Amino acid sequence: MDTGVEDEVHDEVFPKVAAPADGSRWTAPTDIEQRLHSLCAKDNDHAYLRTVALEGVYYPVRLDVARARREDGDDASADLPMLTVDAPDGRTVAQVYTTGLLPRPHPYLVYEYASLGRLAFDLPAHVDVLAVNVATPCERYFATDAEERKAWLESHNELFDPDALADRVVTLRSGGPGQGDLLHGLACGAHLCFANGEPWNAHHWHGGKGHTGEVDRMAEGWDVGDRDDWLDTQERLLLREVSPWGWDFVLDARTSLLEGAADGGADPRRWRDHAEEVLRARLAEAGRATAEQTGELVHKVRALVGSVLRYESRFRADGLLPPGGRIRSVAAWDLGRASQMARWGRGARYATQAETYAALERVSRVARVMYGSWEEFSAGYVLGRCLHFDEESFGSWYTEVLDAHRALTTDPDGPWRTVPFTAD
């Protein structure tokens, strides 16, 4: 099986971000780089490292080394296999970067994630200097002796909270794509970016936990272990074939009933009866279902109508749907995940840049056909997630994504306030 792809070779191994030539204020990619830039101006190394401790950093590793370590099952506590640079004075320098400054993915090099606490323990002993955000307006250099590492660990223990990095809108203020299908396709994955605390408009994707994190995420959550798996899963998501067929079947039945109803309404009994009628006709035409199988499918479809009605009622009460609002499709559940799968495949090096971009642009085009607004898209996504996981408990599977919906529809820097849903 194919574990990776050959992609465009380029020279952007490390970031290189110049300050504005005209002396104007630098627009930092995210809040953390803005804070670090401010602290550089104040020459405050102590506060700089404490800021780094909040989120951690990314370090470069040769892709073949990263794969070999994973295949060998190396101990996670071993020295970090990072690339280092020999300075002119003979010292060895390790370069690390914050999330907003990572370069576009390289075919032979990946970036892995480490907290400042991890660096304190596992930075290789031969490294003399830790260089943070080299060749950017917020670069800083630190010694790596035992006393310094103790300070790193203390800051990590005091400040690092993985839970605080989730459930937030993170927007790249510079370095993201401009308006168009690519940006719109990225915005379609914003629910998951919010949940994971990752930049929703990052098209140069490395993953919140780096390359190994992306490989593990797909293997554990999707049973995707190589390029062939990724290609198959990505295509099925784009075709909306991962979610059960019955979800959109019952919604389509209601839509057809509403279109043909003289009074413009569809009460629950009529909806159930119509869905059953259409289902029986299709099964009879196919001629492959037994009477028992037909009865079981009819029961599930009629029950599903009730589930949708109860969710929509709750959605209206919580402001996720407007008064009288209905959901036309749960396609957004697969499309939102397709947006993320495209990026995850890139981070794991199962996908080329061109394949990732093409998938994101397909997500955008299909979403615009299926929906008319971000609010409508989001409601479809939330219903799909609830039907998949929540089982009408209205527990965390619902409340967490409701929080995401509210944040994404109100954050002034977020995707749904800055990216038009409909094309110009």
Dump pLDDT digits (tens) for 130-165: 999 999 999 999 999 999 999 999 999 999 999 999
Name residue, tokens 């627009």.
27
Dump pLDDT digits (tens) for 11-45: 888 999 999 888 889 999 999 999 999 999 999 99
pLDDT of residue 49: 97
Domain end marker among 116, 133, 165: 165
Dump pLDDT digits (tens) for 98-142: 999 999 999 999 999 999 999 999 999 999 999 999 999 999 999
Dump pLDDT digits (tens) for 351-363: 999 999 999 999 9
Dump pLDDT digits (tens) for 392-403: 999 999 999 999
Is position 337 within any domain?
A: yes
Average pLDDT score over the chain: 93
Long-range contacts of 24-27 (CB under 8 A, 24+ apart): 26/137, 27/173, 27/174
Is position 373 within any domain?
A: yes
Q: Does 211 share its domain with 300? A: no
Percent of the chain residues past pLDDT 90, beyond the cut:
87
Q: Does 235 share its domain with 367? A: yes
pLDDT of residue 240: 96
pLDDT of residue 330: 98
pLDDT of residue 227: 96
Distance CA 251, CA 235 (A): 23
Is residue 1 very low, low, confident or very high in pLDDT (cuts 50, 70, 90)?
A: very low
Domain end marker among 289, 317, 345: 317
pLDDT of residue 74: 63
pLDDT of residue 23: 83
**Nearest Cα residue to 385 out of 335, 420, 319, 325:** 335
- To the question of pTM greater than 0.75 for the whole model, the response is yes
Q: Does 203 share its domain with 222? A: yes
pLDDT of residue 195: 97
Domain end marker among 117, 132, 165: 165
Bridge partner list, 132: 96, 140
Q: How many residues does the chain have?
A: 424
Q: Does 238 share its domain with 360? A: yes
| Residue 111, amino acid | Y
Distance CA 57, CA 76 (A): 16
In the chain, the number of structural domains is: 3
Q: Does 398 share its domain with 350? A: yes
Structural domain for 49, as ranges: 31-165
Distance CA 136, CA 15 (A): 8
Q: Does 50 share its domain with 155? A: yes
Q: How far is CA 43 from CA 17, 48, 264, 325, in A?
A: 20, 9, 68, 55
pLDDT of residue 387: 97
pLDDT of residue 351: 96
| Residue 267, amino acid | D
Is residue 297 very low, low, confident or very high in pLDDT (cuts 50, 70, 90)?
A: very high
Is residue 53 very low, low, confident or very high in pLDDT (cuts 50, 70, 90)?
A: very high
Is position 13 within any domain?
A: no
Q: Does 36 share its domain with 143? A: yes
Is position 152 within any domain?
A: yes
Q: Does 48 share its domain with 104? A: yes
Is position 286 within any domain?
A: yes
Is residue 261 very low, low, confident or very high in pLDDT (cuts 50, 70, 90)?
A: low
pLDDT of residue 12: 85
Name residue, tokens 């280092």.
84
Is residue 3 very low, low, confident or very high in pLDDT (cuts 50, 70, 90)?
A: low
Q: Does 111 share its domain with 131? A: yes
Q: Does the pLDDT value for residue 424 go beyond 80? A: no
Is residue 75 very low, low, confident or very high in pLDDT (cuts 50, 70, 90)?
A: low
Q: Does 48 share its domain with 132? A: yes
| Residue 173, amino acid | R
Is residue 185 very low, low, confident or very high in pLDDT (cuts 50, 70, 90)?
A: very high
Q: Is 274 in contact with 257 (CB distance < 8 Å)?
A: yes
| SS3 track for the chain | CCCCCCCCCCCCCCCCCCCCCCCCCCCCCCHHHHHHHHHHHCCCHHHHHHHHHHHCEEEEEEHHHHHHHHHHCCCCCCCCCCCEEECCCCCEEEEEECHHHCCCCECCEEEEEECHHHHHHHCCCCCCEEEECCCCCCCEEEECCHHHHHHHHHHHHHHCCHHHHCCCCECCCCCCCCCCHHHHHHHCCHHHHHHHCCECCCCCCCCCCHHHHHHHHHHHHHCCCCHHHHHHHHHHHHCCCCCCHHHHHHHHHHHHHHHHCCCCCCCHHHHHHHHHHHHHHHHHHHCCCCHHHHHHHHHHHHHHHHHHHHHHHHHHHCCCCCCCCCCCCCHHHHHHHHHHHHHHHHHCCCCCHHHHHHHHHHHHHHHHHHCCCHHHHHHHHHHHHHHHHHCCCCCHHHHHHHHHHHHHCCCCCCHHHHCCCCCC
Q: Does 64 share its domain with 147? A: yes
Is position 171 within any domain?
A: no
Is position 134 within any domain?
A: yes
Q: Does 105 share its domain with 35? A: yes
Is position 4 within any domain?
A: no
Is residue 72 very low, low, confident or very high in pLDDT (cuts 50, 70, 90)?
A: confident
